[in-house]
C-alpha cells in the first residue's frame, strides 16, 4: 500500500518544529524537496488551526488530483555514504552498515535514518562496535517511526552489540531478525 507523501509531510510538521516553520514559510520548496512536483502557476498557502479557529479545506471538485500533479521519488543519498569509521549503503530498502557506530559518526547515521519515514530494515552484519550514541540514534528513529505506525527491524545484530540493548533494557523495543530474513521484510513491506 503506497503512502500519500503529503500525509507524511503533514505528520512530520507535528513532530519537527523547524520543519514545520520551513513548510509554513516555503511550502513549494519543501514539497519539491520531498518529491512532490508543484505545477507552475499554483499558489500554496499553509494555514494552522488554533484553539479558536478551525480551517477545513475541501477539494475544488471530486475525483483525482489534476493530471499535472505527479509524484516523483525524492532524491536519495549517494549509494554509499562513508564517514569516520562507518559506511552506510542502501540495498533494496535496507540500510547496510559496516564499521563502528561511535559518538563521532552517530549524527550522520541519524541524518541518514531521518530520510526514511516508513518501516525500515537496518543490516548490522558488518558492525563491530556500537556505543550509547548509536543506541540513542536507533531509539530516536524507533520513536519517530512508531508514531507513524511504522517500525525498525534490526538485522543480523552481533551479540556484543545486542548486549548493549539488553544492558540498557531496550531489547523489547526493537525487532531483531536474522540476515536470511532481510529480503523477506522487503516483500512484506514493499513501500520503503
Does residue 20 sit in the same domain as residue 97? no
Question: Is the alpha carbon torsion for 76, 109, 21, 146 positive or negative?
Answer: positive
Q: Which of 27, 58, 75 is the last residue of a domain?
A: 75
Q: Which residues of 174-191 are buried (b: 16+ CB within 10 A; e: fewer)?
A: beebeeebbeebbeebee
Q: Which of 45, 60, 75 is the last residue of a domain?
A: 75
Which domain range does residue 156 map to? 80-188
Domain at 175, CATH number: 3.30.750.24
What are the tens digits of pLDDT across the range 175-189?
898 765 544 444 344
Does residue 47 sit in the same domain as residue 93? no
Question: Is the alpha carbon torsion for 30, 36, 41, 42 positive or negative?
Answer: negative
Q: Which of 20, 46, 75 is the last residue of a domain?
A: 75
Does residue 11 sit in the same domain as residue 100? no
Put simply, whether the predicted model's pTM sits higher than 0.85 gets the answer no
Q: What is the DSSP string of 100-130?
A: EE-TTTHHHHHHHHTT--S-EEEEEEEEEEE
Does residue 11 sit in the same domain as residue 36? yes
Instruction: Say if strands 94-101 and 86-91 run parallel, antiparallel, or are unpaired.
Output: antiparallel
What are the tens digits of pLDDT across the range 33-86?
888 888 888 888 888 877 788 777 665 554 555 555 554 444 444 568 888 899
Amino acid at each position: 500500500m503506497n503512502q500519500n507523501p503529503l500525509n507524511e509531510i503533514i505528520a512530520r510538521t507535528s513532530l519537527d518544529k523547524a520543519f514545520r516553520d520551513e513548510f509554513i514559510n516555503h511550502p513549494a520548496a519543501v514539497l519539491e524537496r520531498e518529491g512532490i512536483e508543484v505545477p507552475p502557476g499554483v499558489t500554496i498557502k499553509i494555514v494552522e488551526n488554533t484553539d479558536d479557529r478551525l480551517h477545513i479545506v475541501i477539494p475544488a471538485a471530486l475525483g483525482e488530483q489534476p493530471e499535472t500533479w505527479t509524484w516523483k521519488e525524492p532524491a536519495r543519498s549517494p549509494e554509499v555514504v562513508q564517514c569516520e569509521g562507518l559506511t552506510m549503503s542502501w540495498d533494496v530498502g535496507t540500510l547496510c552498515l559496516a564499521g563502528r557506530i561511535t559518538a563521532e559518526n552517530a549524527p550522520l547515521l541519524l541524518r541518514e535514518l531521518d530520510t526514511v519515514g516508513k518501516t525500515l530494515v537496518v543490516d548490522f552484519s558488518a558492525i563491530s562496535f556500537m556505543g550509547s550514541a548509536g543506541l540513542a540514534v536507533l531509539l530516536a528513529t524507533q520513536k519517530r517511526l512508531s508514531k507513524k505506525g511504522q517500525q525498525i527491524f534490526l538485522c543480523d545484530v552481533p551479540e556484543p552489540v545486542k548486549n548493549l540493548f539488553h544492558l540498557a533494557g531496550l531489547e523489547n523495543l526493537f525487532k531483531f531478525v536474522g540476515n536470511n530474513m532481510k529480503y523477506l521484510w522487503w516483500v512484506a513491506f514493499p513501500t520503503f
